[in-house]
Structure 1
Amino acid sequence: MDPTKVVWRKSSYTGPNGGDCVELASVPGTVAVRDSKDPGGPRLVFDRRAFAEFLAHIKR
């Protein structure tokens, strides 16, 4: 994943003042997640199936 070519989007739950939120990027075959306060920091990268399972788990 070339970080200079990835388009990140903030969570729809992000308020107008920023704050604690995550950003997502759709990369072919994967979904990347990062902390919006630390855009140069670590990223989690999931294949699409694992990301769907992750979301299902945290929605419980």
Structure 2
Amino acid sequence: MPGSLAPYWFKSSYSGGSGTECVECAYTNELTLIRDSKDRTGPIVTVRTQAWQLFIRHLSQQVQGS
């Protein structure tokens, strides 16, 4: 991301408590970044923030409906 600040990464609240399923996320103006917290130099999944929010909303509805 040239010319911008480094993203602020945070551990997802949905990560497992065992320490083996850790996902970190970061937000930019238009994107959500997702990576494996155990491999911080590895690949980063990039999704438009609006699409990510719709995805999370859908997952929440599925969990609540179970």
Q: Which category describes the TM-score, using the shorter chain as reference length?
A: 0.7 to 0.9
The yes-or-no answer on 1:53 pairing with 2:54 is yes
- Structure 1 residues 13 and 52 mapped into 2: Cα distance closer, same or farther (>3 Å)? closer
Question: How far apart in 2 are the matches of 1:37 and 1:58?
Answer: 24
1:13 CA displacement: 4.1
Number of equivalent positions: 58
What is the TM-score of this pair, normalised by structure 1? 0.72
The yes-or-no answer on 1:24 pairing with 2:19 is no
- Structure 1 residues 6 and 55 mapped into 2: Cα distance closer, same or farther (>3 Å)? same
What is the TM-score of this pair, normalised by structure 2? 0.67
Q: Relative contact order, CA 8 A, sep 6+: which one is greater? A: 1
Question: How far apart in 1 are the matches of 2:22 and 2:59?
Answer: 15
1:18 CA displacement: 3.0
What percentage of residue pairs aligned between the two structures are identical?
A: 38
Larger of the two Rg values belongs to structure: 2
Give the structure with the larger strand fraction.
Answer: 1
Structure 1, unpaired ranges of 5+: none
Structure 2, unpaired ranges of 5+: none
